[in-house]
């Protein structure tokens, strides 16, 4: 049946790939067309698997992964408590910070989710290179100071964007459901996906954001630019950069607006402020947090999935990934459906201008589409309020599929939206 759908589509000349490819003409054109159809069929088959595997899934947002042992469920619960706990100045909060608990931002539709809370990053270009202006506390702003806290040791306000900044970007809070599965996919898989894309869909091919770590290099998967390789590292990073709490992984406090002299008077608890147990607890909670539940799969949703593949969306928003071998049964060789390759892509004008790891200003991580039904605002800066607006903002490597979206018939558009809202 799926084969038929694609043959019909070919006849109707729905452009399945870049027109540039078709311009080459002759045999090459035929060969290319065949290759592209094959890829699309493969994607479609993978899609069917995705549907099978998620149909009848009755989990709720915020549930732990199915199949955890009692001990693991206890770790999940304890981790969640820590994730929700508000820190005080005596615990090490600040001197500057963005929130007092992880759950303050990761809250919708339940603990571990996203929110409309955005953060600000800034920088400039110095001698042709991105400069995070660390001397002014960049690139991430901590917008609050402990000045207003009941147990404040000094009267310090939040940071502001300095006049020297020429680049300013907003970043929206991302949801954390299912990220333990992503964390359990071997780096080699992402590297292989990038190689396959280079070969079969070169125009939209992404690349891994290789990050320097103590042991060499690791593939970044987390954050809007895949700038962080593991959930554990993100936990320590967020504890420091969102809350101002140092840990064995990141033992050095942020200097408020770049002024390190202030630390002596404003930051009394000895570093590391967390002995590592807090970081581990956040990691446990996120590792065992189940993916978002899938909505009902109707006929319209199925038709929309075909449109999704036909437009080439799945070249970046790949439906299925599989974890590697893992001593935790709930994470051992599990198939899951994030609709992302977790690679960075050149998104042209949709890029935010900030550089992190190897990601340049225009490169962004393919946003995972699972749980889309629960998101109120979309895109890294929260600038889109509807899925249609988010699609229309695609540029750079995403421009081609946006253009194809623009030529869709009204029914195909409503089918596509029904599919996306079922994820």
Which residues bind to ligand HEC, rule: CB under 6 A? 98-99, 102, 104-106, 117, 119, 171-174, 176, 204, 222-224, 231, 234-235, 238-239, 242-243, 282, 286, 311-313, 315-317, 345, 347, 350, 364, 366-367, 369, 375, 378-380, 387, 390-391, 394, 397-398, 401, 405
Closer Cβ to ligand HEC, 30 or 42, answer by number: 42
User: Whose Cβ is closer to ligand HEC: residue 102's or residue 111's?
Assistant: 102
Maximum alpha-carbon separation in the chain? 76
Backbone φ and ψ of 219, nearest 5° = -80, 125
- Please name every residue paired with 108 in a beta bridge, in sequence order, or none if there are none: 114
Smallest distance, Å, CB 240 to ligand HEC? 9
3-class secondary structure, 398: helix
Please report how close the Cβ of residue 187 comes to ligand HEC at its closest, in angstroms: 15
In whole angstroms, the minimum distance from the beta carbon of 248 to ligand HEC comes to: 15
Tell me how far, at minimum, the Cβ of 165 lies from ligand HEC, in Å: 16
Q: What is the DSSP letter of 222?
A: B
- Nearest distance from C-beta of residue 175 to ligand HEC, angstroms: 7
How many whole angstroms separate alpha carbon 288 and alpha carbon 285? 6
Strands 209-213 and 216-220, by their bridges, are antiparallel
Contacts of 163 (CB under 8 A, 6+ apart): none
By beta-carbon proximity to ligand HEC, the closer residue of 72 and 173 is 173
Angle among Cα 174, 176, 179 to the nearest 5 degrees reads 125
CA angle, 257 then 262 then 265, to 5°: 150
Our CB check for ligand HEC shows the closer of 6 and 239 to be 239
Beta carbon of residue 11, minimum distance to ligand HEC (angstroms, whole number): 21
Looking at beta carbons only, is 136 or 308 nearer to ligand HEC? Answer: 308
Do you find a cis peptide bond into 16, omega within 30 degrees of 0? no
Residues in a beta bridge with 195: none
**Nearer to ligand HEC (CB atom), residue 28 or residue 196:** 196
């Amino acid at each position: 049946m799926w084969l038929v759908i694609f043959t019909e589509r070919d006849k109707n000349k729905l452009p399945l790939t870049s027109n540039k490819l078709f311009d080459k003409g002759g045999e090459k054109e035929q060969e290319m067309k065949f290759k592209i159809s094959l890829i699309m069929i493969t994607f479609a088959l993978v899609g069917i698997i995705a549907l099978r595997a998620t149909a009848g899934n009755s989990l709720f947002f915020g549930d732990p992964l199915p199949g955890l042992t009692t001990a693991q469920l206890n770790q999940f619960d304890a981790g969640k408590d820590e994730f929700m706990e508000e820190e005080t100045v005596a615990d090490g909060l600040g001197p500057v910070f963005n929130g007092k608990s992880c759950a303050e931002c990761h809250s919708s539709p339940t603990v571990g989710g996203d929110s409309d809370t955005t953060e600000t990053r800034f920088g400039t270009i110095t001698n042709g290179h991105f400069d995070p202006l660390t001397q002014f506390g960049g690139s991430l702003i901590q917008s609050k100071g402990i000045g207003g806290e009941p147990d404040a040791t000094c009267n310090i306000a939040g940071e502001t964007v300095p006049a020297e900044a020429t680049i300013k970007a907003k970043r929206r809070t991302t949801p954390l459901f299912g990220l333990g599965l992503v964390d359990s996919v071997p780096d080699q898989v992402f590297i292989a996906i990038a190689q396959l894309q280079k070969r079969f869909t070169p125009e939209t091919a992404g690349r891994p954001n290789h990050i320097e770590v103590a042991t060499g290099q690791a593939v970044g998967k987390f954050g809007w630019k895949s700038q962080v390789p593991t959930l554990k590292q993100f936990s320590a990073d967020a504890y420091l950069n969102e809350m101002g709490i140092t840990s064995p992984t990141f033992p050095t406090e942020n200097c408020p607006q770049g002024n390190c002299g202030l630390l002596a008077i404003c930051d009394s608890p000895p570093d590391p402020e967390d002995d590592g147990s807090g970081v581990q607890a956040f990691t446990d909670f996120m590792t065992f947090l189940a993916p978002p539940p899938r909505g009902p799969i109707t006929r319209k949703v199925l038709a929309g999935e075909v449109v999704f593949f036909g437009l080439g969306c799945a070249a970046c928003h790949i439906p299925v990934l599989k974890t590697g071998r893992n001593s935790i049964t709930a994470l051992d060789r599990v198939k899951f459906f994030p609709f992302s390759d977790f690679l960075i892509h050149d998104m042209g004008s949709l890029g935010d201008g900030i550089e992190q790891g190897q990601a340049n200003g225009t490169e962004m991580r393919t946003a995972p589409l699972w749980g889309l039904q629960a998101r109120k605002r979309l895109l890294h800066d929260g600038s889109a309020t509807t899925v249609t607006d988010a699609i229309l903002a695609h540029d750079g490597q995403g421009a081609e599929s946006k253009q194809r979206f623009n030529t869709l018939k009204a029914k195909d558009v409503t089918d596509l939206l029904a599919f996306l809202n079922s994820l």
